[in-house]
Structure 1
Amino acid sequence: MRNVRLIIISTIFFIVAIIDSQAQHKVQQKIPEKTRILFLLDGSGSMLENWGRPHQTKMSMAKIILSQIIDSLKQNKNLELALRVYGHRSPREQNNCKDTQLEAPFKANNHQLIIDKINDIKPKGVTPITYSLEQAALDFPANPGYRNIVILITDGIESCGGDICATSRALQAKGIFLRPYIIGLGLRAEENLNCAGKFINADTPGKFHDILNDAIEKSFSKTTVSVELLDAQNQPRESNVNIMFINTTTNMTMYDFIHYRDAQGNPDTVQIDPVVDYDLIVSTIPQTVVRSVSIKTGSHNVIRIPVPQGNLRIEQEGRKNDALESIVRQKGEPGIIMVQKGNAAIRYLIGKYEVETLTFPRRKFQVEVQSNKTQVITLPPPGVVNVNTVSPGYGSLYEMKSDGSWEWVTHLNDLKSQFTLNLLPGTYKIVFRVKNTTGSKYSAYKIFQLKSGETKLVKVFG
């Protein structure tokens, strides 16, 4: 029998270990191993302009450089390529704003096909970038496990009236592709295209080669970050709060995890996608937001964020009241940042706060949270008042303030003639009128005092 129990216990521990192991694997957030790159190439008539060298056009140089780079990518087994061209089928006079074509769809080992299609391009028409980008969204297969990237190569801005910025942001928000690279061939239009992606201008063919090669390399470079959460002494000793990496373009969460420090106090290293620009949100109370975090692609980055914190606990003397709730605001700010439960020590950023307890009556406190200290607000225990009004009616409860004035606390139950109130100790007044009376002159009032822990019967008409 003893052996049977040992087997059962061992089995339980084994199952728990498996479940725990599976849970750890589930929460890992990884970048997909495979990548798709769609080259969206300008084939409009302006690509026939001379560029860089005598008797060389923008298109002829783009063909040479793009073909060389595509050929160099043949060895990357985790990469699939596709080619879409616009402005190359209809002459400019036709103003065809739907002149775009997927010339080579995503497929393994299609490098030579793409090179052949590039060499066949004959520039003719206009520049429907927005419509081409909308159609490009349909070029990416729906199967998961890939990062989708667009590299737009153009020598002109939108000529068909589309809003490329809004379209790009919408498609990024839907997760169709990450922030596009936009390479301008002798084009200075950052204000027109930078809102649609990362715009880089190539003044010369040599710069175009370097920029295109760099964009592809950055797409695959391993980029990691560690987030150090600093205390009041500027030391990375804060931890155990949620951190979100937010795509600055789409405002969508890219990575979401609870901060961790190992036994030596070192934070986790997290791999992130280098194609995206990020804002960071640290879920302290209140939140800490860092805009446009500087990330060096292909390197390990240490992000240091000051989040010095202390504790605040709200309790009632002599009793554990988990039902006690309090509203917490930053001093001078109207917005509620926390509804805090009783007896819990909650961490806040250091600073001044206003606390309003949801008791009868409410109490307000000014408190300053200090680094690694616990500020305690202690309320006296309530008393219990059993109210008898003879018959249901209308009334209110008031509390006497220190200057002798009366402050409204709550309306009374108009459906019952007997009810109970839990009140903090103090001096109170009930003003009441029975429903079936015929005038306000029949209103009655009763003044009473209540101590902590006391139970009192109040007869309004007694």
Structure 2
Amino acid sequence: MPKIIVDNLMLRITTVIALLFITTSMLAQNVQQKLPEKTRILFLLDGSASMLAKWGQETRMDVAKSLLSNLVDSLKVNPKLELALRAYGHLYSKGAQNCKDTKLEVGFAQKNHAQIIKELQLISPKGTTPIAYSLEQAANDFPAGSSRNIVIIITDGIESCDGDPCAVSLALQKKGVFLRPFVIGLGIDKDYTKEFRCLGDFFDAKDLNTFQVALQKAIKTSLEKTTATVELLDVKNKPTETNVNVSFVNSVTKISAFDFVHYLDTQGKPDTVILEAVIPYDVVANTIPPVVKRNFRLQPGVHNTIQLSTPQGSINISQRNASTYTQGVRALISKGNRLIHTQDINTSQKYLTGDYDIEVLTLPSRKFKVSVQQSQQEQITLPAPGLLNIYNNAAGFGSLYEINDDGSQQWIKDLDNKESKSTIAIQPGNYKIVFRVEKAPGSKYTTVKNFTIKEGLSTTVRLFD
């Protein structure tokens, strides 16, 4: 083959390898939660009679109309955003106490900003405050299809129709109808703030300035791209731990919003992940035991660094001839009197650094205390079991005991009272069997047999010679 062809071929191969490397590196460094490109924001405006109360030099409704109109006008430049307007308490008088007083004034559409501003000016406060019912109806306002659905509630009072806005909001969040709502309270009584915080992210707007800030914060959180890295810290608080499954769990609905396996590149840098900033998260490093940072709020529009202390070592539990146990062997791993994991025999498993109690479920079980150190493996090795062959001439009742080094005994198990011969896999040690034939006329006919089990060997015990 001519040299020039070989050179061209090698150049192409090198180029392909380089492109694959770059592509792989890009994939490794950009992990993205599946976020729809389109965002839909529904403004849910309180039009109840209390919105006529003075707020500075104007009424609460006038302030809300003015700021909301300016906001809607400023959002015309975003082609991936659709808006809608629903109001409540504005169609019937307060005396009517109409708890279905809510209406979608302007539905979602492109370039409907002028229509929303026009309808805002026509809303006149009149009636009551059916927040729960309005939220239920709002679920039907969002068109089918993939989009990030946001609700911004602007109100000056609590539910007045015996509904449960918090329960409705939670149910709709769990169904994925919309993300965590934003609730902007205008001059809300401090005693009522708790009722709003369970409904959504609550902003207490005490005056015009804080109302404007709250609106801007809600829009910023809804629209700006937000990224994060998760640093898994070792015992020296260095971000060297990796290959751990990490979950971002919606701390309101308890449904996992995003899962990935943590990765460090060749320079020791973790992935950058793109996340939904509207949701509060429980960030879970699925170590054993898990490490959780609860109700974590991402700062929208910026890069967030989330640190979790996850120093790990490992425990290896091994035993020759473990298959002699017909049902296999497992170990119970506990920390602070709490069972945290079940580990199979002849396996190695990572754990957070610290002290653990281990009970290996051989017959009889064996208990150990282990201190896991950073990046170290603690080894537990059990001797191979022996085989106990029990011969019996007649059915009866009996138990197997282990004799400890100090002469004390410990019950292990009851024997099968119907089998004439049974074989049991059992750990090396000193034992005894206490047995009485079922048809024997008294306890004086009990027989006691002492014996020793040796590693990997068979021992025969005849209950009646």
Fold shared, TM-score > 0.5 on shorter chain: yes
Q: Secondary structure at the match of 2:413?
A: strand
Aligned AA for 2:334?
R
Q: Secondary structure at the match of 2:407?
A: coil
Equivalence map 1:49-88=2 (5 Å):
49-53=53-57, 56-88=58-90
Q: Is the CA contact (8 Å cut-off) linking 1:393 and 1:417 kept in structure 2?
A: no
What is the aligned partner in structure 2 of residue 360 from structure 1?
363
Give per-residue Cα distances to partners, 1:410-438, cap 9 Å, x unaligned.
11123321111111111111122333444
Give per-residue Cα distances to partners, 1:437-460, cap 9 Å, x unaligned.
444333322111111111122111
What is the aligned partner in structure 2 of residue 131 from structure 1?
133
What is the aligned partner in structure 1 of residue 177 from structure 2?
176
2:307 paired with 1:286: no
Equivalence map 1:28-427=2 (5 Å):
29-53=33-57, 56-143=58-145, 145-188=146-189, 189-316=192-319, 323-330=328-335, 332-333=336-337, 335-427=338-430
| Structure 1, gaps ≥5 residues long | 1-16
| Inter-CA distance 318–123: structure 2 relative to 1 (3 Å threshold) | closer
Moved more, 149-158 or 74-83: 74-83
Alignment length, in residue pairs? 436
| Inter-CA distance 351–241: structure 2 relative to 1 (3 Å threshold) | same
Tell me by how many angstroms 1:394 deviates: 2.3
Tell me by how many angstroms 1:306 deviates: 1.3
Q: Is the CA contact (8 Å cut-off) linking 1:321 and 1:342 kept in structure 2?
A: no
Give per-residue Cα distances to partners, 1:238-275, cap 9 Å, x unaligned.
11111111222222211111111111111111111111
Q: Distance between the aligned counterparts of 1:106 and 1:287, measured in 2? A: 42
Moved more, 341-350 or 198-207: 198-207
Output the aligned Cα RMSD.
2.3
2:457 paired with 1:454: yes
Q: Distance between the aligned counterparts of 1:318 and 1:63, measured in 2? A: 78
TM-score (norm 2): 0.88
TM-score (norm 1): 0.89
Which ranges of 4 or more aligned residues in structure 1 deviate by more than 4 Å?
Answer: 317-322
Moved more, 164-173 or 394-403: 164-173
Q: Distance between the aligned counterparts of 2:44 and 2:322, measured in 1? A: 69
Moved more, 73-82 or 437-446: 437-446
Aligned AA for 2:85?
L
Moved more, 351-360 or 185-194: 185-194
Q: Distance between the aligned counterparts of 1:390 and 1:287, measured in 2? A: 53
Give per-residue Cα distances to partners, 1:121-140, cap 9 Å, x unaligned.
12110111122112212222
Q: Distance between the aligned counterparts of 1:318 and 1:384, measured in 2? A: 11
Q: Secondary structure at the match of 2:296?
A: coil
Aligned AA for 2:314?
N
Q: Is the CA contact (8 Å cut-off) linking 1:327 and 1:358 kept in structure 2?
A: yes
Q: Secondary structure at the match of 2:77?
A: coil
Tell me by how many angstroms 1:83 deviates: 1.3
Identity among equivalent pairs (%): 49
Tell me by how many angstroms 1:206 deviates: 4.1
Equivalence map 1:20-31=2 (5 Å):
29-31=33-35
Q: Secondary structure at the match of 2:299?
A: coil
Q: Secondary structure at the match of 2:216?
A: helix
Tell me by how many angstroms 1:98 deviates: 1.6
| Inter-CA distance 321–229: structure 2 relative to 1 (3 Å threshold) | farther
Tell me by how many angstroms 1:119 deviates: 1.8
Tell me by how many angstroms 1:359 deviates: 0.4
Q: Secondary structure at the match of 1:200?
A: strand
Give per-residue Cα distances to partners, 1:293-347, cap 9 Å, x unaligned.
25322111111211111111111258798943111101x41x3111111221211
Q: Distance between the aligned counterparts of 1:298 and 1:187, measured in 2? A: 29
Tell me by how many angstroms 1:283 deviates: 0.9
Q: Secondary structure at the match of 2:318?
A: strand
Tell me by how many angstroms 1:176 deviates: 1.7
What is the aligned partner in structure 1 of residue 16 from structure 2?
none
Q: Distance between the aligned counterparts of 1:300 and 1:172, measured in 2? A: 26
| Inter-CA distance 240–361: structure 2 relative to 1 (3 Å threshold) | same
| Inter-CA distance 85–321: structure 2 relative to 1 (3 Å threshold) | farther
Q: Distance between the aligned counterparts of 1:296 and 1:355, measured in 2? A: 42
Q: Distance between the aligned counterparts of 1:378 and 1:321, measured in 2? A: 16
Q: Is the CA contact (8 Å cut-off) linking 2:233 and 2:239 kept in structure 1?
A: yes
Q: Distance between the aligned counterparts of 2:343 and 2:109, measured in 1? A: 56
Give per-residue Cα distances to partners, 1:75-119, cap 9 Å, x unaligned.
222112111110011101111122111222222332233222222
Q: Secondary structure at the match of 1:64?
A: helix
Aligned AA for 1:391?
A
| Inter-CA distance 453–207: structure 2 relative to 1 (3 Å threshold) | closer
Q: Distance between the aligned counterparts of 1:177 and 1:440, measured in 2? A: 73
What is the aligned partner in structure 2 of residue 11 from structure 1?
none
Q: Distance between the aligned counterparts of 1:251 and 1:79, measured in 2? A: 28
What is the aligned partner in structure 1 of residue 4 from structure 2?
none
Q: Secondary structure at the match of 1:427?
A: strand
